[in-house]
Amino acid sequence: MSDIIIGIDLGTTNSEVAVVQDGVSRVIEVDGARLLPSVVGLADDGTLLVGQAARNQFALYPERTVRSIKRRMGEDTKVAMGPESYTPQEISALILKRLKQAAEVDLGQPVTRAVITVPAYFSDAQRQATRDAGGLAGLEVVRIINEPTAAALAYEVDHPQGKTILVYDLGGGTFDVSVVRVARDVTEVLASHGNNHLGGDDFDDRIIDHLVEHLRAQGHDPRAERSAMARLTRAAEAAKITLSDAPFALIQEEYLLERDGAPVHLSLELAREDYEAMIEPYLRETLEAVHIAVNGAGLTVSDLDEVLLVGGATRTPLVQQRLEAALRMQPRAEVDPDLCVATGAAIQAAVIAGVQVASVLVDVTPYTFGTSALSILNGEPYPYTYCPLIRKNTPIPVTKSDVFETMHDGQRSIIVQVYQGEDPDALNNTEIGSFRIDGLSDVPAGNLIITTFSLDVNGILHVSSREKRTGLEAQITIDNATARFTGDALTAARDRLSALIDGYEYEGATDADQDGATDADGTAAGDVAGERREAVAARALVEKAERLLGEANAQDRDDLVDGIEAVRDALAQDDPRTLESAVAQLADLIFYLES
Ligand code: AMP
């Protein structure tokens, strides 16, 4: 039996253990789940609890439960758990021991060696404490590696000339950003920054505050009721997770409190937009840290080759949007952000053990899918603004929904166009289906329509749109949605000028760059002059070409620059025929570069 080395991500909120077997990395389940909450406690009868059971009792029995012990690693201190006190190493050892046991059961053999990850900023004392915790758990820690290094390993960021990557790690209770240089087998952390008291738990806290305020406004105060607060904490996290994929979350807790012998129920809908306003200050802080880290590495944003997302809270769409806008590139998120560091640790462990490792294969969508709506494109209202719902490289299966609004008072129907492609102008993407909902309520403009895209591993895309107030729904199923659509289909789609007569409006259009999306007089698609649309499309194409410049080789870059100049000249000359031919050439070049 070979001597397996396991990889462990010993996290502040959750910990994970992974292993490479037959060349493939795999996260091992503990108590039926891949994340083990990093919480340790004692039950009523003194039994030791590690993981979910300890987490469950935290709100009720904080005096005999310990969480976030990682923050204390390296300190010469003890924390109380029931009648006794323990060092941070001892508490961490209990978590490590649980992971070790799970690995032994899963692998059917003893496990004695591990690679453990730590944050890049950990001091020698903190690293030593981690090593000691391993020892107490019966594990020889063969190497301590930095978490961003592990993330880079999981993504196989490797390049003969080396690559500079930014790892943005937003977990439950900590935020770290690191700039890492990867060249062959050597990974160097150039700079790191963060806040070890910022994370998804703060997002939960803002939702909890909102729920408490709502209850107080009705004359009930749950703050003193431990069990009610425990339920609100759980409900807040669940709502937050729902809002990562849907525009609304319904929070319902029956019999939450009792007042004068009568039960108090909670029922409240939270809109993603309102939630995003609550967490905006945190995101601003993380972006400031990103810039500090990039500057600290002596670099600028344009020097970054890749951005990797790590930590469960990076599933929040606003995190991805803000980061993409600030760094001008789509962050990579295809390896599960909760498991990415453990996966990298397992890969490092395999390398040390001399085991071959295949790449981490994840099923992802090769294209972006979305719909179109009236919004702001390049500073102007534009009826075919592309609204992506499922972004390229998202792991599948996936379901995402967003909310849109009708444009006209008394609008009784909408047409929903479904596109495949990346261009901000939907007309430059491929329309792969459309459907209509009739019989909408006779209400003023702003009737909410929730559109949901579900893509499965077989490339079947299911799109549905539902009037929020009534539940009236229409849908379409598109087979082979992930197939590359041909040039003919693309041309046909572009020619469909009659589409979107009754279009709908993108409600998420509240960002600075989308302000003013509301079309006060309800201008419909057909009112936009064709020529202006061509110009808008041409500018969007130029932008896209500019984004490709960074990764193109010298020859392609020259061609792109020529193509961009030709389109710009044609725009300046205001000559539709020259513009059409320049746009076609540049579009062909981009198509070739992307395929
Ligand atoms: P980690 O410490 O990396 O395990 O991250 C845990 C944090 O990620 C917790 O605050 C979770 O509530 C949060 N989280 C997990 N899944 C999601 C999701 N789908 N959307 C937003 N936050 C999430």
Cα of 316 vs centre of ligand 1, distance in Å, is: 8
| Ligand 1 atom with the shortest distance to the CA of 14 | 4
**Which residue is associated with the tokens 């992971």?**
99
Cα of 569 vs centre of ligand 1, distance in Å, is: 48
The tally of CA atoms less than 13 A away on the side-chain side of residue 207 is: 29
Give pLDDT tens digits for 392-406: 889 899 999 999 999
Give pLDDT tens digits for 278-287: 999 999 999 9
pLDDT at 527 > cutoff 70: no
Q: Distances from the Cα of 465 to the Cαs of 249, 438, 518, in angstroms? A: 17, 11, 20
**Which residue is associated with the tokens 């909902």?**
437
Ligand 1 and 312: CB distance under 6 A = yes
pLDDT of residue 484: 65
In terms of Cβ atoms closer than 10 Å to its own Cβ (0-12, 13-18, 19+), residue 433 is middle
Ligand 1 and 13: CB distance under 6 A = yes
pLDDT of residue 157: 64
Among 210-219, 355-364, 374-383, the range of highest mean pLDDT = 210-219
Give pLDDT tens digits for 159-200: 667 899 999 999 999 999 999 998 877 788 999 999 989 999
Handedness of CA 440, 441, 445, 448 (dihedral sign): negative
Beta bridge partners of 575: none
Question: Is 468 annotated as catalytic?
Answer: no
| Ligand 1 atom with the shortest distance to the CA of 312 | 8
pLDDT at 277 > cutoff 50: yes
pLDDT of residue 509: 36
Catalytic residue chosen out of the listed positions 16, 90, 132, 147: 147
pLDDT of residue 503: 42
- Residue 141 pLDDT level (bands cut at 50, 70, 90): very high
Ligand 1 and 246: CB distance under 6 A = no
Share of the chain above pLDDT 70, in %: 89
Q: Whose CA is nearest to atom 20 of ligand 1?
A: 241
Catalytic residue chosen out of the listed positions 16, 90, 169, 176: 169
Residue with more model confidence, 89 or 526: 89
Give the domains, in start order, of the chain with CATH numbers: 5-198+285-353 (3.30.420.40), 369-594 (2.60.34.10)
Question: Is 169 annotated as catalytic?
Answer: yes
Question: Is 63 annotated as catalytic?
Answer: no
| Ligand 1 atom with the shortest distance to the CA of 174 | 2
Residue with more model confidence, 343 or 576: 343
The two structure tokens encoding residue 161: 């000339």
pLDDT of residue 559: 86
Give pLDDT tens digits for 463-508: 999 999 999 999 999 988 887 655 454 444 444 433 333 345 554 4
- Residue 522 pLDDT level (bands cut at 50, 70, 90): very low
Determine contact, residues 269/277, Cβ cutoff 8 Å. Answer: no
Question: Is 9 annotated as catalytic?
Answer: yes
User: If we measure between CA atoms, which residue out of 455, 452, 446, 460 comes closest to residue 416?
Assistant: 452
Ligand 1 and 41: CB distance under 6 A = no
pLDDT of residue 500: 31
pLDDT at 344 > cutoff 80: yes
User: If we measure between CA atoms, which residue out of 235, 194, 198 comes closest to residue 214?
Assistant: 235
pLDDT of residue 300: 97
Q: Kindly write down the DSSP assignment for every residue of 219-276, as one continuous string.
A: T---TT-HHHHHHHHHHHHHHHHHHTTSSEEEEEEEEEEEETTEEEEEEEEEEHHHHH
